[in-house]
Amino acid sequence: MSMAGRMARATGTWIPAALVRPFGAPAAVFFHGVERQRTDPAIQINQHALDDFENMVRLIKRDFDVLPLAALADVRKRPAKHSRALFLMSDDGYANTLSVAADVLSGFGLPWTLFVSTHHIDTGVLNPMTIARSFFLLAPESHYEIEDLGAFALNDAREQTANRLLAALKYLDAARANRAVAAMRAVLNRSGIDVAECFPSERFLNWDEVRALERQGVEIGAHADWHWPMHQNQSAEYLWEQASRPKRRIEEEIGACRAFAYPFGQRADIARAAWAAVRDAGYEHAFTTIAGTLDAGSNNWLLPRYGLAPQEPNLAALLAVMRANNGRLRQWQSRIGT
C-alpha cells in the first residue's frame, strides 16, 4: 500500500463518516480471496476471514452506491453527481471467490468485477509470492542459496529474512524470479510441504468456474498473465505479453475483456512501457493499487484503487480522505507519461 493509503487508513478510522460524507467522491476498492477459516494469516495474507468480509460488505451496502464497471465512464465524467459511487473488485482469481465470496456479494445484491491472472487459471500453479512466502516461513531451518538472492539462513529470524528477500525477489525480472521461485518450490517439495494441500485458500479457479461467475453477472477483467510486477526491470516483450495474452485468453474462454488491473500495482510496480502496453492491447481502462478517487482527470490506464484491509469499520470516511491524494497521483502519472 502507498504512503497515502496508509495515512488515509490511519486518519479514516477516527473521523465520523457523517462529517466527511459531503466530501465523498467515487472510488474503486478491491479484495482478493475470502476464506471461512484462516489457519495461518502469515501465509494467507490475501484472504479475508468470512465473518469480517460479511460485516464489511454490509457496511458497503449501507454507505455506498455499488455500481457495475459499465458505469465507470459516466461516473468519471460527472463525479459530483456520483459522490457515493463505489466499484467493487477482486484480484487474482482464487477458487474461493466462487465458493465463498460470490455467495456473500450475491446475497447483498452487489455487482463486482473479477480480475484473473490467466496463467494461473490455465495451469492451477500457485501465486509465485505465495510459494516464496511459504518457503521462507515453512521450509526447514538450514542455510540456503538461491540464485539472484544469494546465501542466507532460515532460523529464528526467518520473518526478517523473509521480508528482506521477498522485497528483493519482487524486483527481479520475470525470468530470474521464475528460476528463484522454482528453486524454492523444489525445497518445499523435498520437505514434503504441499502448499496447495496445506492452504486450499490459495488455489485458483479454473475456466469453468470463471464462466460460472460470469453467468452470475460478474465482469471478468485481466490481472496480467503470470502474477508478477510489470516494472522497469521487465523487457518490452514481456510487458506486451503480460498485457495482450490475458485479454486474448479471456476473450477465447469468456467473452469481452475491457479492464485490466496491475499485479501489486504500486508506483514501482508499473513501468512507463507497462501502461502503454495495456493501452495498446485494447483495454478501456486499467487500475493500480494507489490511493485516490475517480474523476475525469486521471490517465484511463492508471486509475486509483484501494485495497480493503482485513476489517473496514469506517470505509466511508477513509475513502473521502483519499481524495487528497489525487494531486500526487496526477504528478506520478505525468512523470511516466500521460
Q: Quick check: 24 and 316 in contact, CB under 8 A?
A: yes
Choose one of 168, 198, 228: the last residue of a domain.
Answer: 198
Q: Is there a single domain that holds both residue 187 and residue 212?
A: no
Secondary structure class of 36 (helix, strand, coil): coil
pLDDT above 90 covers a percentage of the chain that reads 88
Q: Quick check: 134 and 111 in contact, CB under 8 A?
A: no
Closest CA to 259 of 1, 124, 73: 73
Q: Is there a single domain that holds both residue 244 and residue 190?
A: no
The answer to whether the predicted template modeling score (pTM) of the entire model surpasses 0.75 is yes
What is the average pLDDT score of the chain? 94
Lowest mean pLDDT among 28-32, 46-50, 79-83: 79-83
Q: Is there a single domain that holds both residue 142 and residue 96?
A: no
Q: Is there a single domain that holds both residue 214 and residue 191?
A: no
Closest CA to 127 of 172, 170, 98, 171: 170
Secondary structure class of 338 (helix, strand, coil): coil
In the prediction, which pLDDT does 171 show?
A: 96
Secondary structure class of 271 (helix, strand, coil): coil
Choose one of 198, 233, 252: the last residue of a domain.
Answer: 198
Cα–Cα dist 226/228, whole Å: 6
Choose one of 177, 198, 219: the last residue of a domain.
Answer: 198
In the prediction, which pLDDT does 9 show?
A: 55
Domain range for 267: 3-124+204-335
Cα–Cα dist 320/323, whole Å: 6
Q: Quick check: 319 and 24 in contact, CB under 8 A?
A: yes
Considering all CA atoms of the chain, what is the largest pairwise distance in Å, rounded to the nearest integer?
59
Q: Is there a single domain that holds both residue 187 and residue 223?
A: no
Q: Can you give the CATH number for the domain in which 18 is found?
A: 3.20.20.370
200-244 per-position pLDDT tens digit: 999 999 999 999 999 999 999 999 999 999 999 999 999 999 999
Closest CA to 106 of 46, 38, 28, 54: 54
Q: Quick check: 82 and 165 in contact, CB under 8 A?
A: no
Residue 172 has pLDDT above 90, yes or no: yes
> What DSSP letter does each residue of 234-245 carry, written as one string?
S-HHHHHHHHHH
Mean pLDDT of 164-187: 97
Write the single-letter amino acid at 186.
A
Closest CA to 69 of 276, 217, 215, 262: 217
Residue 316 has pLDDT above 70, yes or no: yes
Residue 326 has pLDDT above 70, yes or no: yes
Q: Is there a single domain that holds both residue 208 and residue 106?
A: yes
Cα–Cα dist 74/94, whole Å: 30
Q: Is there a single domain that holds both residue 167 and residue 250?
A: no
Number of structural domains found in the chain: 2
Q: Is there a single domain that holds both residue 233 and residue 327?
A: yes
Which helix (H) or strand (E) is 330 found in, with range? helix 326-335
Q: Is there a single domain that holds both residue 237 and residue 297?
A: yes
Q: Quick check: 298 and 260 in contact, CB under 8 A?
A: no
Lowest mean pLDDT among 12-16, 101-105, 174-178, 250-254: 12-16
5-43 per-position pLDDT tens digit: 555 555 555 556 555 566 689 999 999 999 998 999 999
255-286 per-position pLDDT tens digit: 999 999 999 999 999 999 999 999 999 999 99
Residue 119 has pLDDT above 80, yes or no: yes
Q: Quick check: 94 and 201 in contact, CB under 8 A?
A: yes
Place of cell 495495456: 278
Give residue 61's pLDDT band: very low, low, confident or very high (50, 70, 90).
Answer: very high
Q: Is there a single domain that holds both residue 75 and residue 208?
A: yes
Residues 6+ apart with CB under 8 A from 135: 184, 185, 187, 188
Q: Is there a single domain that holds both residue 302 and residue 225?
A: yes
Alpha-carbon torsion (319, 321, 322, 326), positive or negative: positive
Q: Is there a single domain that holds both residue 183 and residue 263?
A: no
